[in-house]
């Protein structure tokens, strides 16, 4: 990968600006620094290698060269889609899931709120981080990591080590090499398409129809969702709540509806949660 090939491949997409790095700490950190210097909407940071990549809940997401896609996109909420902030965080997952399903024919699903799975194994993770000025969200950084080659799975496994959530990578699922630039192009095209429809019922329906473990018994380990508009809160700073139940679907704001044993349907906001099927908890 290099800046020229990247620019050529993405030339038909209305991105704000593109920066490529052979080696970087974290594309999310680079995007944050760029935003503070005035990055435009849809500014994209791509790195071949991340030495301090981050996942949710303070976990690390190391990206070794040639293994993965690691990129971050700066999104400034328009007045209209500011009303749909929780959906902004789902944009990445929906875009990756649709790309894998429609462009690569893979049975991708979304582990709520925004991991992407293939056959119950994690293939991509999304870290969305908001920049606030008072109670106004200035920008959202959508950081997306997709496991492409075998060498990506070591890092994904490290990331998930505490959860024992199995990982996979695209080249194993497809049994052929994957062009990472083409994949990036396709994911960004889907993301731009969904962003235009973020307030539509179709957005929610598609997200809901993509949910992994629907109708299955799952365990949700959650920090108390005091994050603004459902954006991630620091799990470490809050006592975790553990709930078990059946996934029923999504509420209009993207919260997860979980039917617990008493029959009551709980609504969980997309704060910092960890979700897994109960059958997997035997691995803990």
Q: Give least dist CB 143 to ligand BTN, A.
A: 3
CB atoms under 10 Å from CB of 137, counted, come to: 19
Of all residues in this chain, which one has the CB nearest to ligand BTN in the complex? 125
Among 20, 34, 61, 203, binds ligand BTN (CB under 6 A): 61
3-class SS shares of the chain: helix, strand, coil, % to 5: 35, 30, 35
Q: Pull the structure tokens for residue 3.
A: 């800046």
Say whether residue 70 binds ligand BTN (CB under 6 A).
yes
Q: Can you count the helices (H) and strands (E) in the chain?
A: 7, 12
CA 25, CA 105: separation in Å to the nearest integer?
A: 33
Decide: is 127 part of the binding site for ligand BTN (CB under 6 A).
yes
Residue 40 corresponds to which tokens in the numbers above? Answer: 């435009």
Out of 143, 227, 232, 254, name the contact with ligand BTN by CB under 6 A.
Answer: 143
What does DSSP assign to residue 215?
T
Stretch in the footprint of ligand BTN (CB under 6 A) among 68-76, 77-85, 211-219, 266-274: 68-76
Residue with smaller CB distance to ligand BTN, 26 or 67 = 26
Verify binding: residue 128, ligand BTN, rule CB under 6 A.
no
Q: Which residues of 7-42 are buried (b: 16+ CB within 10 A; e: fewer)?
A: eebbeeeebeebbbbeebebbbbbbbebbeeebeeb
For position 204 contacting ligand BTN by CB under 6 A, the verdict is no
Cβ 269 to ligand BTN, closest distance in Å?
A: 18
In the sheet that 68-75 helps form, which strands lie side by side, from edge to edge? 17-24, 43-50, 68-75, 136-147, 121-133, 115-118, 108-111
Residue count, binding to ligand BTN (CB under 6 A): 20
Q: Which of residues 220-279 bind ligand BTN (CB under 6 A)?
A: none
Q: Rule CB under 6 A: choose which of 98, 115, 229, 272 binds ligand BTN.
A: 115
- Tell me whether residue 4 is exposed, middle or buried, using C-beta atoms within 10 angstroms of its C-beta: 0 to 12, 13 to 18, 19 or more: exposed
List the x/- string, 22-51, binding to ligand BTN by CB under 6 A: ----xxx---------------------x-
Residues 77-106 that bind ligand BTN (CB under 6 A): none
With CB under 6 A as the contact rule, which of the stretches 67-75, 94-102, 214-222, 240-248 interacts with ligand BTN? 67-75
The torsion region of residue 70 among left (phi > 0), alpha (psi -120 to 50) and beta comes to beta
Q: How far is the CB of 200 from ligand BTN (least distance, A)?
A: 26
Kindly indicate which of the ranges 52-60, 103-111, 186-194, 222-230 contains the residues binding ligand BTN, using the contact rule CB under 6 A.
52-60
SS3 93: helix
Coil, strand or helix: which one is 190? helix
**Binding residues for ligand BTN (CB under 6 A):** 26-28, 50, 53-56, 59, 61, 70-72, 115, 125-127, 143-145
């Amino acid at each position: 990968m290099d800046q020229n090939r990247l620019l050529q491949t993405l030339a038909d997409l209305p991105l704000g600006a593109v920066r490529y790095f052979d080696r970087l700490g974290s594309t999310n950190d680079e995007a944050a620094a760029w935003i503070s210097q005035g990055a435009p909407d849809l500014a994209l940071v791509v790195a071949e290698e991340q030495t301090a990549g981050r996942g949710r809940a303070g976990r690390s997401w190391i990206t070794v060269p040639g293994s993965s896609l690691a990129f971050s996109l700066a999104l400034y909420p328009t007045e209209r889609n500011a009303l749909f902030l929780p959906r902004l965080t789902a944009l990445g997952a929906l875009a990756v899931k649709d790309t894998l399903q429609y462009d690569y024919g893979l049975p991708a699903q979304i582990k709520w709120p925004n991991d992407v799975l293939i056959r119950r194994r994690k293939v991509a993770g999304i870290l969305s981080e908001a920049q606030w000025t008072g109670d106004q969200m200035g920008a959202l950084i959508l950081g997306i990591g997709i496991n492409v080659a075998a060498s990506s799975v070591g890092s994904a496994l490290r990331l998930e080590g505490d959860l024992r959530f199995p990982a996979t990578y695209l080249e194993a699922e497809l049994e052929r090499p994957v062009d990472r630039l083409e994949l990036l192009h396709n994911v960004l095209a889907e993301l731009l398409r969904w962003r235009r429809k973020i307030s539509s019922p179709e957005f929610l329906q598609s997200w809901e129809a993509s949910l992994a473990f629907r109708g299955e018994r799952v365990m949700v380990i959650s920090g108390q969702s005091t994050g603004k508009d459902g954006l991630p809160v620091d799990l470490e700073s809050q006592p975790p709540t553990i709930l078990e139940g059946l996934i029923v679907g999504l509420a209009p704001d993207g919260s997860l509806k979980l039917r617990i044993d008493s029959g009551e349907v709980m609504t969980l906001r997309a704060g910092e949660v960890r979700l897994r099927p109960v059958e997997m908890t035997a691995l803990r």
